[in-house]
Structure formats: C-alpha cells, structure tokens
C-alpha cells in the first residue's frame, strides 16, 4: 500500500471573505479554507492582507493558488506561498506543466492541491505526481449535463484500489445534497461557499420542533 486511506470528513470554506470565515469558524466546524484568484479579486483587498487574516482565524489547511502556467514560474510562486505559513497548501492547475511542478514540490515537502479536475484519469495522474489533495469540480460538471458526483466516486475507488494517500477534496459544491453525496462517496474533504454551509444547518422540522418545545415550556408551572 502506498498510503493509509482515512475517512475523516473535513469541511473547508471556499471563500476569501474574512468576515464570513470569522463568523462560521466560530461554530467550530471549519477545518480549512480554499481560495482561488477569482475569490480573492472579488474582495478588492491586497492578497497578503487577506491571507494573513485567514491564517489568524483558521488553524488548518489554507489553499492558495498560483497564477502562472509554466512549471518554473509555478515553482517560484509556490515556494513563496509556502513560506507564508506552515498551513499553506499550494493550488496547482491540472495541466502538464502543473503536474511537473507538483512532482518537484512534493520532493521539497510542499503540499499541493491539484485543482480543476474533471476526469478520473486526470486524478490518477495527479496522485502519481504526489498531490496532497485532488479537487474534482462537481457543480461545473453538473452545469454541462454530466453527473459531477460520479467523478468523486470514481476517484475514491481508484485511490483505494492503489492506496494513494492523496485526499479527495470535493469542490464546486452547490447545495446540501452535493455535501451528503460526497460524504457517502467517501470524499475526505468538502469545500463549499459560506451559504451552503449555512444551508446544512437548516431543516424546517428542526425549527418547528424547537418552536413547539419552547411554547410548551411556557406552560410548565413556575414555583412560586
């Protein structure tokens, strides 16, 4: 066996919104953060300022993405990102130059999250290169009439077959059903927008039941 398969379900937030991260991290349910250039740009703040705040809030893996497309430039960026904090995981796109960079970064002890995975063959190559995480994009496959969760199931099976230690990080999750299906498939991590994590907490019967309990409690005689 090339690694030990662990089934710890971790929840990451897919955002660079520090206010949202701080609020949801206070629940004690956030294990890590994933970001990308689009999420960072949306905040309209300096990149390093955002990252430093996130690191102070969440003590877990923080995925920060390179923006180069050739391996040497990726390596330079990745090394700089890794110096920020021990919890930084470098996101690398799943292209040939990216896997070349992943192989070298693995040798240097720098953890990588290989992103934009849309096929099981891509995932297998990422694992062979030494990726710490693979990020299959479920929602984006659903958008083009594929069943995105099938990809998660395929990757989990392949990695188990060969004992790869690469963790399956189900990404582009759009709703609570995606989360449940990823958990049933055996994904190690689910990353989601803050709104989806809030949806996981909600159920109308919970609200109705709590309201009824509290109303009934008011009827309990008080000791005079």
User: Is 192 strand, coil or helix?
Assistant: strand
Phi first, then psi: give them for residue 59, nearest 5 degrees. -100, 75
At 61, list the tokens: 């893996």
**Closest C-alpha to 122, from 141, 143, 142:** 141
Phi first, then psi: give them for residue 36, nearest 5 degrees. -150, 170
User: Is 37 strand, coil or helix?
Assistant: helix
Whether 128 sits among the annotated catalytic residues: the reply is no
Candidates 19, 42, 83, 91; catalytic one: 91
Tell me the C-alpha to C-alpha distance, in Å, between residue 75 and each of 32, 34, 172. 23, 19, 26
CA distance 180 to 9: 11
Helices (H) and strands (E) in the chain, counts: 11, 8
Q: Is residue 156 classed exposed, middle or buried when 0-12, 13-18 and 19+ CB atoms within 10 A define those classes? A: buried
CA distance 17 to 141: 25
CB 43 within 8 A of CB 50: yes
Please list the active-site residues.
91
């Amino acid at each position: 066996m090339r690694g030990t398969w662990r089934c710890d379900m971790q929840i990451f937030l897919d955002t660079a919104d520090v206010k949202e991260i701080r609020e949801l991290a206070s629940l004690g349910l956030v294990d890590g953060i994933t970001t990308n250039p689009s999420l960072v740009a949306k905040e309209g703040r300096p990149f390093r300022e955002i990252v430093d705040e996130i690191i102070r809030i969440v003590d877990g893996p923080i995925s920060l993405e390179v923006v180069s497309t050739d391996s040497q430039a990726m390596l330079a960026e990745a090394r700089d990102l890794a110096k920020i904090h021990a919890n930084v995981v470098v996101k690398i796109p799943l292209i040939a130059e990216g896997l070349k960079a992943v192989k070298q970064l693995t040798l240097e002890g720098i953890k990588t999250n290989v992103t934009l995975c849309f096929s099981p063959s891509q995932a297998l190559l990422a694992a062979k290169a030494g990726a710490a995480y693979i990020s299959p994009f479920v929602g984006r496959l659903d958008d083009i009439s594929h069943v995105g969760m099938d990809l998660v199931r395929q990757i989990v099976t392949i990695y188990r077959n060969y004992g790869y230690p690469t963790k399956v990080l189900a990404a582009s999750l759009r709703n609570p059903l995606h989360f449940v299906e990823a958990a049933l498939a055996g994904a190690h991590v689910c990353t989601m927008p803050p709104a989806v994590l809030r949806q996981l907490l909600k159920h109308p019967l919970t609200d109705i039941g709590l309201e009824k309990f509290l109303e009934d409690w008011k009827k309990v005689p008080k000791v005079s």
